[in-house]
Amino acid sequence: MATLTAPATTEPHDTFPINGTDYIELFVGNAKQSSLYYRAAFGFQLLGYRGPETGVRDRASYLLQQGKIRIVLTTPMQPEGPIADHVRLHGDGVRDLAFWVDDARDAYAKAIERGAESAHPPEVMKDTDGEVVIAAIRTYGDTIHSIVERRNYHGLFLPGFVAVTPEFAPPPVGLKYVDHCVGNVELGKMNAWVDFYARVLGFFNLLTFDDKDINTEYSALMSKVMSNGNGRIKFPINEPATGKKKSQIQEYLDFYKGPGVQHIAMATDDIIATVKALRARGVEFNQTPTTYYDTLQARVGKIDEDLATLQALGILVDRDDEGYLLQIFTRLVQDRPTLFFEIIQRKGAKGFGKGNFQALFESIEREQALRGNL
Ligand code: FE2
């Protein structure tokens, strides 16, 4: 029955309001070539550039966008300095998972007060389009969270970036937004980082997987999924668990030389069309064991998609109480066994494909064995 009283506020108060992911920045060895890869293979559009030609001497950055996903690829111009150090140590990898906030000074002050380590205090960047206030805090490994306030900015992205309209512009593949970003941390450190996100940034623990959920003969992991107050930012945190041989999380840590971002999941409204387009452009995906599809119908029940099409494309399906999801994982996007991407379509399900972890692990381990790291 309708009433005029206000609904009860049972949701916990959001103590660190974040509007969403602002951008994801990768430090790479050759941003010019990487940008062509993400455009040609993944359908990102090149929108902006900042570098020596625009007055920034020490780096070149390419701004790519598809749907709401903004990726910045940055490379150092000289062998000295923090960007070059990052690339030398980690290879190509994610440096920054940036938050979009209304008040960067206030958010930064709150984070520091609650125990965050500063990467840099608030800085005001200006150009003729207004100003952006940007601060940053450190998270696991050499990864940071920039805190970006852009309410007084009307330009393309950040001051210093100039718009570019390349002749070569492969069309988008239907990627809409960042669904989640997964961090790998050292054995025994998962709970410390879970606590960091809860205590400093007001995140809550959405889901937990232990080594009984995710375990093959050789490899295991534990994972806790942290979400911010409005649910737009989800960070699963993985740590290796002990198996007979080396965990794939440990392999990542060994090659990234510490904790870092393992994969970024990007959402689509039509995974079949998106994955077809990605495959046609040369994106490689982890192989799914063909036996996976023998039991799929029994495991997930009725779904809208044609099973034969899903099998032909290698798309995985999982169901939870609220619906189902479709997902697929790319192969590594660089030679070091570190970063990869996930493509996901949610049809009600709010989980992360727990039922698929086993199948995924088995396929990852076949590749790990081929590299001699198992
Ligand atoms: Fe994922």
Within 8 A by CB and 6+ apart from 263, the residues are: 181, 182, 329, 339, 340, 341, 342
Burial 311-350 (b: 16+ CB within 10 A, else e): eebbbbbbbbeeebbbbbbbebbbebbbbbbbbbbbbebb
Confidence band of 207 (pLDDT split at 50, 70, 90): confident
Side-chain-facing half-sphere of 370: CA atoms under 13 Å: 7
pTM of the model: 0.92
What distance in angstroms lies between residue 352's CA and the mean position of ligand 1's atoms?
A: 6
Residue 248 CA from chain centroid, whole number: 18
The class level of CATH for 175-370 reads alpha beta
What distance in angstroms lies between residue 338's CA and the mean position of ligand 1's atoms?
A: 14
Give the model's pLDDT for residue 353: 84
Give residue-wise pLDDT tens across range 146-178.
999 999 999 999 999 999 999 999 999 999 999
What distance in angstroms lies between residue 344's CA and the mean position of ligand 1's atoms?
A: 8
Give the model's pLDDT for residue 271: 98
Q: Which fold has domain 20-163?
A: 2,3-Dihydroxybiphenyl 1,2-Dioxygenase; domain 1 (3.10.180)
What distance in angstroms lies between residue 356's CA and the mean position of ligand 1's atoms?
A: 10
* Fold match flag (20-163 vs 175-370): yes
Give residue-wise pLDDT tens across range 86-143.
999 999 999 999 999 999 999 999 999 999 999 999 999 999 999 999 999 999 999 9
Question: Phi and psi (nearest 5°) for 62?
Answer: -115, 125
What distance in angstroms lies between residue 265's CA and the mean position of ligand 1's atoms?
A: 6
What distance in angstroms lies between residue 94's CA and the mean position of ligand 1's atoms?
A: 16
In angstroms, how far apart are the furthest CA atoms of the chain? 68
What distance in angstroms lies between residue 47's CA and the mean position of ligand 1's atoms?
A: 27
What distance in angstroms lies between residue 14's CA and the mean position of ligand 1's atoms?
A: 24
Domain boundary assignment for the chain: 20-163, 175-370
Question: Phi and psi (nearest 5°) for 99?
Answer: -100, 140
What distance in angstroms lies between residue 361's CA and the mean position of ligand 1's atoms?
A: 12
Confidence band of 13 (pLDDT split at 50, 70, 90): confident
Give the model's pLDDT for residue 82: 97
Give the model's pLDDT for residue 8: 44
Query: Do residues 170 and 281 touch, judged by C-beta distance below 8 A?
Result: yes
What distance in angstroms lies between residue 303's CA and the mean position of ligand 1's atoms?
A: 21
Residue 157 CA from chain centroid, whole number: 20
- Complete edge-to-edge strand list for the sheet that includes strand 260-268: 204-209, 220-227, 234-241, 175-184, 260-268, 340-347, 323-329, 316-320
What distance in angstroms lies between residue 52's CA and the mean position of ligand 1's atoms?
A: 36
